Structure 1
């Protein structure tokens, strides 16, 4: 793609990925790839491409209504609308209204295009999205958009129809995104479920590895020619400096992975050290289950080895389910199927509740009514002080046992792993002149299993302390006895 501003001419040259994207007749299409790959430009030009293909009305014009969506008002104004106006400037394509929701009416040749820009952090905009009749919806940076809105949006496209032949009416949802993690709805819908009418288009990585395993520029990367023209030929190679492997995977290689905003709660976690990369074999030892209550109940499963290493071997996370149903219908069957015969002990949130009018002791009582039939008892963790809970986790993250990490995470604990990678974080607070963060971890889909884990880790940390105290007491007694014996000679 080129932008010849001196001549006031803008020329869009589609990449190979873009050509396939533009040819797709699927109802929902998504472009996914590394940063700087021209995804947003691809989508903006795809809208014009579709509008030009729209069926004609009785006055021989092509009428199209487009909705452009971004997750926040600031991102909509600073990025999405900025990109749009670079390619379809107001002086040539029509002014955009200055009051939200922003609107632009484009009349070019036989095309009449109404473009509406909406932000999902504005309640009025969300209501408008769910009530609008339109032809095309563009979700910019789709990984920030909830699936429920995308699903509802599929009901709105095609309902704006001025075509003489209704079959010629354009209807399509388009998306662009940097890769999310592999439990995101984008991965589940496009890569696993693959419903009819959904197409995803992966762009080439910005980097490839040479024979020595070092990252080098991929000459076939989308938009690389344009980046070079802008003096950014080292755009991707310079990106790797100071970045984690996970960040490189997502932002430079365009692969699914876990990257998050905010400050990680556990910076001591090192995925190369603490993640086993496979399922950890269950030991014939006591199994600890740790519970966090609420309508998103979570359980983590842990064991401690004879040498004092903690293995996080499994997790279960509920969604919009009360604790009675969760325990009876999900937790008990899972334990019976996977951990039958093991002694099981449980620890739960000592202060949380799953309903406003129900306290945590009631939650524990409900759990025990069900679990005690199977010889399992849940106890409240001895503290709910955040600092002590986090310290219980951190002391194992920062320790070695027999030269190996004292904390190991199984591949079955997928959400917990993403929590450690940054999903469980302190949210950034916007302040003038500095970056600050909230004092407590952000409540989100990762905080529930991470909170649960902490209750089990408190138990393990307490056991280690008890063992040390016993050892010190025994050593002291032996020393005194020996000393007395020596002095009595």
Structure 2
């Protein structure tokens, strides 16, 4: 390999794609090349490994991957394709270590090796298929960047994970200039692919296309989406609120992931989902205070009304008060209404399938990422395993995933309080089935329904309610 200016410049026989070039030119300490299928992820990562190993004599780097078979068949194979044979001084098969003719060393490690690197000081690290790796490994490798006379940088290549993954939080939610992300779609590499490759990917489910064709954060659901008819390019738009109309807040309680979604009905009767908020490990009192405070910043001169989970009227083991009473003490008076999953599904799917003057009757703001992904399949039916007996209580209701369910439930509570489904009862005093909690229809005899607003006003005043 030709060297110019005493190793300051290196000429590599490599014509990078546009996104690959941006990735290589970045000066960020930690870089993420987030790509779809066949977007040149591993190839770009290995080219970067070669560049740093040759630019800095006696450098030391590590290529890390979860499984040995993938490390051997993809990462190592690509590395040996990238690096000219004349630049390799030796390969130690036992240590999985490549030594270049300039004295630089490259180690290939996989998860079974653990984090046993001895006293190894690194000048760089490369994590291949980083979505399969824990944050702990990334943090550990950061702490190993201590080799003098090197750039001391790290890069990751990855298929797009979910937005709750540590990669998303670290690289997308952080404003730290040390972190940079480069998104690459399959289209980026189209000229090097068979002509029928991309058309074959266009036949995949929408959620798969988003992730594996477009290279965007997403998921591949394990089961069939609970709600049918949601099309992202049609039902997702940038929305704004109307100060002349009520904004409805819809609540799902709990400690692990309490959730609140914001809704409005526009002048034409369309249902607009304006905003989503989901907490993590926070009490309903703190979460409610946060929502109440932020509403002053997000919305001005509007009236709020609140809906929620009927289970909020139950006392939990974490508080002597119900969630509804706690919110009432904050001046947030939540109305709830009994419903079944069948009714919720009928209402929401009817809205998804309806157009009002050529525009969907249900529109989700583009900032509601969890709700959008929930519609695409994050909120889904449980998969029935071969030979497993059919149980309607399991397979005809949404799977309890612990994440998407909370905001989707909040959307459902708004739906049943605002719109009438096929099962809606006109006389609530005769209802004998009431949904309690997000996943269970519990039989409850309801005598005489009291106006929620009046009930919660008295609760907030400390009046005993029987």
TM-score (norm 2): 0.67
Offset of residue 298 of structure 1: 0.8
Q: Hey, what's the Cα distance between the residues in 1 that align with 2:72 and 2:213? A: 24
Aligned match of 1:486? none
Q: Hey, what's the Cα distance between the residues in 1 that align with 2:91 and 2:314? A: 55
Unmatched tracts of structure 1, length 5 or more: 1-10, 57-61, 71-75, 97-102, 162-166, 208-220, 433-437, 471-489
Contact 1:353 1:360 in 2 (8 A): no
Are residues 38 and 12 of structure 1, via their aligned partners in 2, closer, same or farther at CA, if it must alter by over 3 Å? farther
SS of equivalent residue, structure 2 residue 406: helix
User: Residue 315 of structure 1 is aligned with which of 276, 295, 314?
Assistant: 276
Offset of residue 68 of structure 1: 0.6
Aligned match of 1:366? 326
Offset of residue 152 of structure 1: 2.4
Contact 1:294 1:354 in 2 (8 A): no
Are residues 131 and 312 of structure 1, via their aligned partners in 2, closer, same or farther at CA, if it must alter by over 3 Å? farther
**Alignment map for 1:210-359 (pairs within 5 Å):** 221-222=188-189, 224-225=191-192, 227=193, 232-241=194-203, 244=206, 248=209, 250-254=211-215, 256=216, 258-262=218-222, 263-281=224-242, 284-285=245-246, 287-304=248-265, 309-328=270-289, 330-337=290-297, 338=299, 340=301, 342=303, 344-348=305-309, 350=311, 357-358=317-318
**Alignment map for 1:68-217 (pairs within 5 Å):** 68-70=64-66, 76-77=67-68, 79-87=70-78, 93-95=91-93, 104-107=96-99, 109=101, 110-118=103-111, 125=114, 134-143=122-131, 148-149=135-136, 152-153=139-140, 155-159=142-146, 161=147, 167-169=148-150, 171-179=152-160, 195-203=176-184, 206-207=186-187
SS of equivalent residue, structure 2 residue 338: coil
Aligned match of 2:456? none
Aligned match of 2:418? 460
Q: Hey, what's the Cα distance between the residues in 2 that align with 1:26 and 1:339? A: 39
Contact 1:348 1:455 in 2 (8 A): yes
Are residues 128 and 455 of structure 1, via their aligned partners in 2, closer, same or farther at CA, if it must alter by over 3 Å? farther
SS of equivalent residue, structure 2 residue 318: coil
> What RMSD, in angstroms, separates the aligned Cα atoms of the two structures?
4.4
Q: Hey, what's the Cα distance between the residues in 2 that align with 1:451 and 1:188? A: 24
Q: Hey, what's the Cα distance between the residues in 2 that align with 1:448 and 1:370? A: 22
In the alignment, structure 1 residue 382 sits paired with structure 2 residue 344: no
Aligned match of 1:66? 62
Offset of residue 140 of structure 1: 2.4
- Deviates most, 453-462 or 286-295: 286-295
Are residues 105 and 238 of structure 1, via their aligned partners in 2, closer, same or farther at CA, if it must alter by over 3 Å? same
Q: Hey, what's the Cα distance between the residues in 1 that align with 2:149 and 2:421? A: 71
Offset of residue 77 of structure 1: 4.5
Offset of residue 196 of structure 1: 3.2
Q: Hey, what's the Cα distance between the residues in 2 that align with 1:240 and 1:106? A: 40
Contact 1:67 1:118 in 2 (8 A): no
Contact 2:23 2:31 in 1 (8 A): yes
Aligned match of 2:407? 449
Offset of residue 449 of structure 1: 1.0
Offset of residue 297 of structure 1: 1.4
How many residues end up aligned between the 2 structures?
A: 396
Contact 1:349 1:360 in 2 (8 A): no
Offset of residue 188 of structure 1: 7.1
Contact 2:246 2:303 in 1 (8 A): yes
